[in-house]
Amino acid sequence: MAKLSDKITLSNLELKNRIVMPPMCQYSVDAEDGTPNEWHYVHYVSRAVGGTGLIIMEMTNVEPDGRITNRCLGLWSDEQIPAYKRIVDECRRYGAKVGVQIAHAGRKATDAAVPVSSSPIPVEPEGWKTPRELATEEAEAQVELFRQAARRAVEAGFDTIELHGAHGYLIHQFHSPSLNHRTDKYGQDKMLFGCEVIRAVKEVLPEGMPLVMRISAMEYIAGGYDLDYGAELARRYQEAGVEVFDVSSGGEAPPDGDLKPGNYPAYQAPMARRIKEATGLPVIAVGMLDEPEVAAAVVGTADADLAAVGRAMLRNPYWAVDAILKTEGGRTEQAPYKRGYPLR
């Protein structure tokens, strides 16, 4: 049985434990220029001090109009690289490895004058802008934007890259039969856009750097795709080059339909296991793993190889070391704090 404190190697990347801080938007870019500031520096470095094995920085967008809001992060300019490098370098001083989630919000880009998508379908009929359907050549250009953002991430020193193919953002909008009504090549093969993005990003990653992808293993909207489709999606993306899946679900649009599971601790862990069985790849489970015993059980039962803890880590930067102490005993690696952790 694996423990939260166990090391794990993903391709050539060794993590000191199985605890992941998942990407969580901070909406804190005061200058609205997409560049991380002191808030982001303190936010991420404190979780590295707190013992997290892998920190995945929040949704970071490939172009200004690809942000959820104008206060979100971006990697569309080389001028943004040094601010990311500063955060990565400091986090790594404390033993954490750092990834970044690269994305495009598509029709969920609330501050874009006219958001874009696979098809002109708004998130909801009321209160949301109707997106403009990307022309074929424009979709191809988006693939290049992902490639360039990944190149910048590599130059900033990130240890891994996660592509956001979940929660109703642009890649999800293309591979969802409910959201993609196109007739071109991206409509005939709804997974093609995601595969092209994966292959483009892989071209700029150093050998041995794992490519992670977050997917919604199933949709919640009426008529949405089920877990069988999610497994096939994962297999296609594996063939294109994904080496680790971060398994979530839903998020494509309200209202939820009959497929939505109950909200209970580890409710998405069976989905992670299904994707793991379908691909044979390592998976990250996420979703209400706040209690250390629950996260430890998900890893210990091999439903997932890593446990991502979001909201609890917002409340407690030291969740990782506290969870290991609670479930296994031990103490923090950080000398200034050791007196606060009795040996057990």
Least confident of 2-11, 59-68, 332-341: 332-341
Asked if pLDDT for residue 344 goes beyond 70, the answer is no
CA angle 296, 298, 299 (to 5 degrees): 65
DSSP assigned state of 267: T
Give the lowest-confidence range in 82-91, 104-113, 259-268. Answer: 259-268
Question: Which DSSP helix (H) or strand (E) runs through 54?
Answer: strand 54-61
Using CA atoms, how far apart are residues 326 and 342, in angstroms rounded to an integer?
11
Looking at the DSSP assignment, which residues form a beta bridge with residue 9?
14
Separation CA 57–CA 61 (nearest Å) = 11
d(CA 201, CA 340): 43
Q: What is the dihedral of CA 204, 76, 87, 101, to 10 degrees?
A: -70
pLDDT digits (tens, 9 = 90+) for 194-237: 999 999 999 999 999 999 999 999 999 999 999 999 999 999 99
Q: What local confidence, expressed as pLDDT, does residue 261 receive?
A: 85
Q: Tell me: the pLDDT tens digits for 293-311?
A: 999 999 999 999 999 999 9
The size of the chain, in residues, is 344
Q: Would you say residue 256 has pLDDT above 90?
A: no
The fraction of the chain above a pLDDT of 90, given in percent, is: 92
Q: Which 8-state DSSP code applies to residue 246?
A: E
> The tokens 């150093």 sit on which residue?
206
Compute the Cα dihedral for 40, 42, 43, 47 and give only its sign: positive
Summarize the chain as % helix, strand, coil (round to 5): 40, 15, 45
List the structure tokens of 264: 């209970």
Return the minimum-mean-pLDDT range out of 7-11, 23-27, 58-62, 249-253.
249-253
pLDDT surpassing 60 at residue 325: yes
| Each residue's pLDDT tens digit, 49-103 | 999 999 999 999 999 999 999 999 999 999 999 999 999 999 999 999 999 999 9
Are 104 and 63 within 8 A, CB to CB?
yes
pTM higher than 0.95 = yes
In this prediction, residues 127-141 reach a mean pLDDT of 97
- Which residues, in sequence order, are bridge partners of residue 20? 54, 308
Residue 179's pLDDT band, with cuts at 50, 70 and 90, is: very high
CA angle, 49 as apex, 46 and 52 as ends, to 5°? 95
Rounded Cα–Cα distance for residues 74 and 81 (Å): 10
- Could you tell me if 3 and 320 are in contact, meaning their C-beta atoms sit under 8 angstroms apart? no
